[in-house]
Structure 1
């Protein structure tokens, strides 16, 4: 048996198997070091057959850690290396489950945790906004009001959409929410029905992972009006009521955008995405750089408070009356 010492992540090797001990807390700083350590082991010669991540001491992980785990899993699979999460505590398993990642990993629990238990594990949330009952109450109240408004304008909007362009009234798209969990976001359709097939023919004016064109020919006339007035986003109040989104939060990213994240960028997934937020009120039609969007979302994550949410809601109302607010 050969021992490899590391201050952050002690490693034991035996017969082509690496056992990596993880620290008690796995947040952004540790996650960056952890990813580097995993890359080192995955690229080792000879190639290991299995890497076991020992969570025996780990009691808390955040979105940055989830990002590091996903990156390590993809790298391990690319080299046919089995990656096992060992001695996982209930609170960590709960976080993995919330992120919908538990089904992607081979997970082995501690023996004592295999015994039936009637109590649910209590976990510390990755962000205070998730724990805030007041924020959730405001979200529910706002969603009910928003859905009431949606019910009033639904028929005229639906007729306008149908008269100009055949196809569905509503448009859904897969986005990533809290801890990266995927969900379907809903909007009134503002593009032609075959927009995805025509996407390759449209120039992307943004830099980085997300797509945007100010004069996108796929957008219908009705769609431009809906976007300018933000009426296309009214169905998202259903996402808020379901708890998938918040009235105020970060921009809900596409899965392919998350795939491009560096470890620190995963912190924006510590909070729920919102109908409005930093990106929406700070020149949403002018922001073209992928990194700039991430920095705006990280700023919200760091500055969050109920007062700050209220300020962003008031700014959103001002933006709606700005002729340049469409995006």
Structure 2
């Protein structure tokens, strides 16, 4: 994998009194995002800086890593009580902001603002690109068809599963949790409940056997007896076909992280969000129960992005069935 963190991109910076105006590059993807983050660390440490303006006028391509660097920098500016303002984002960049709620957090000003002389902030370049899997209409059609079939099976299994869950552990049948998907956008994921009702409150008391930004415990005491069966057979995942139907997820993709996991992410880790999260994927079919290092998860996700095609999705889908029916397969 390319050592992106060793590549520094030169940013055009203007200064006027206590204000920095930073002209961002045409692309704000992983290489530029790492450089942007490292530079921002230095700017906020300057005690004479009270305001930073980010000029997006020339930026037409922003990916999940760019969004990740911006979110991290917003937190850094807030911690130092530095005012952060955004200039001239084009409609596609604004759309990316709105997907993750940055349009409600950032102070965005139009082209008419003129505090520091700079080059034109107008841009007629093409809109930002996304990963081919996100743009593929055929993949979306396959997802919709798969989701309809999956929800039909879920409807048939719902009553016996619901009865088993209720008998074993009083509480709701379904479990929902906020996860992060494409470009870091938050959505609510659905599963059949496999843990006790106060599982989230007890999480801090459970030993994490994984290293990095994800949680794993082979003998998690929060999992109920019925829950272990549901996880072993992957039946707990079936309500996620609704997430696939609504477009928050795909049949095949990456693992959607929780919000507390996202807090631990480095900029490079945000590359995982260039594709939609999946019900299954590289991680699930390549020994998810044995993987303990978060970087291994990231590497698998990046491998999926590099190798993606409709045929590759089909291959992973078939491998998923093999893993599910393998008695030695583990569960999340």
TM beyond 0.5? yes
Give the superposition deviation at 1:122. Answer: 7.9
Give the superposition deviation at 1:305. Answer: 1.0
Partner of 1:157: 161
State the distance in 2 between where 1:12 and 1:125 align: 29
Q: Which runs of 4+ in 1 moved over 4 A?
A: none
- State which of 283, 288, 312 in structure 2 corresponds to 1:284: 288
Equivalence map 1:162-311=2 (5 Å):
162-311=166-315
Deviations 1:273-308 (A, max 9, x none): 000001100001111111111111111122211111
Number of corresponding residues? 313
State the distance in 2 between where 1:263 and 1:7 align: 15
Equivalence map 1:92-111=2 (5 Å):
92-111=93-112
Give the superposition deviation at 1:211. Answer: 1.5
Query: Normalising to structure 1: TM-score of the pair?
Result: 0.92
Query: Normalising to structure 2: TM-score of the pair?
Result: 0.91
Contact 1:83 1:105 in 2 (8 A): yes
Contact 2:147 2:245 in 1 (8 A): yes
State the distance in 2 between where 1:284 and 1:220 align: 20
State the distance in 1 between where 2:139 and 2:83 align: 41
Partner of 1:27: 29
Q: SS where residue 32 of structure 1 aligns?
A: helix
Give the superposition deviation at 1:261. Answer: 1.6
Equivalence map 1:59-138=2 (5 Å):
59-111=60-112, 123-138=127-142
Q: SS where residue 130 of structure 2 aligns?
A: coil
Point out where structure 1 has 5 or more consecutive residues left out of the alignment.
1-5, 113-120
Q: SS where residue 96 of structure 1 aligns?
A: helix
